[in-house]
Amino acid sequence: MTYIKTDDLLGSLRNTTTLDDYLTSQKQHFLDTELPGLLERLCDQKQMSKAQVFHGAELNEIYGYQIFAGKRRPSRDKLLCIGLSLGLNEDEMQSLLKSAEMAPLYPKLKRDSIILFGFMKNQSVMEVNQSLFANNLETL
């Protein structure tokens, strides 16, 4: 698959005559938003088992397996916990949030800044939660 900039894709959308033409010609550039598949690929890339991810994310295993099976959709905070457990960097986490159709972390929000710092410094869920708690903010 060739990479296309978002602005180029938007330009193509503006210049198309019909939606069907656009969807057909650009289908290879759309994000895969099937969360179970995304999470499986990330586990493979990071060489982690699901059990390791659940433990690091401080998730109940039953709930974790339901997320990976597509039977439950995690909240943004639970997805952030999974990302921290996987050791994602901030760019990888932002991409995962966007692909899952969730709001990206926004550095102008104090809580999001603390969470972003956790991704930048490869912190655990516990470390991020400690920072959030210390700043009187809702923990993950």
Per-position DSSP letters for 44-108, written without gaps between them: HHHT--HHHHHHHHT--HHHHHHHHHTSS---HHHHHHHHHHHT--HHHHHHHHHHTT-PPP-TT
Amino acid 3: pLDDT: 64
Query: What per-residue confidence (pLDDT) applies to 23?
Result: 83
pLDDT value of residue 31: 60
Residue 2, pLDDT score = 60
**pLDDT tens track of the chain, all 140 residues?**
466 777 888 888 888 888 888 888 887 777 655 888 889 999 999 999 999 999 999 999 999 999 999 999 999 999 999 999 999 999 899 989 988 889 999 999 999 999 999 999 999 999 999 999 999 999 99
pTM of the model: 0.79
Which residue has 């990479």 as its token pair? 3
- Could you identify the residue written with the tokens 């659940």? 54
What are the residue ranges spanned by the domains of the chain? 1-30, 31-134
CATH number at 31-134: 1.10.260
CB atoms within 10 A of CB 116: 19
